[in-house]
Amino acid sequence: MSTNRIAKQLAFDEITKQGFNVSVSGKDLLIDGKLVINVRGCNRDNEWAKKTNCLGAWDRIDPDRFDYFVGVSFDNGGNNVRYFVFSKDETKNFSDICWKDKRSFGFKNMSLTKDDEDSGATIKSSEDKWDKINTKIRG
């Protein structure tokens, strides 16, 4: 099973536990049939993640396609799961992806590294921050 499919299932289960009415819509999840949640996974047990001290890395994020982005980070087999919740506006501040011809197409990258000051602040503001979605849903 692909990393993103594992992440989507883990996020579906966690969002349901948070008390939201969640459903699947193609590659995304929907809350209450209206809020689009884009979910991506990162297996931090692979060689690249170990070498770079990575907690999670996600790329080709398109903020125009969703209301919230949930980055799911886990070890092999979906263990030691960590969830990072970002609003559309927060994802717009992620770094741009630039292709060989220097165009970005609006896609974004996010990488979180252990023992990194900037990553630490991002982790603190996003890890398990389901209240961001709760506030939007329940006003």
Structure confidence by residue, pLDDT tens digits, 87-99: 999 998 888 766 5
Number of domains in the chain: 1
3-state helix, strand, coil in the chain (%, to 5): 35, 35, 30
Domain that holds residue 52: 3-138
For the chain, the average pLDDT equals: 86
Q: What is the pTM of this model?
A: 0.88
| Domain harbouring 40, CATH code | 3.40.1350
- Give the Cβ contact number of residue 128 at 10 Å: 12
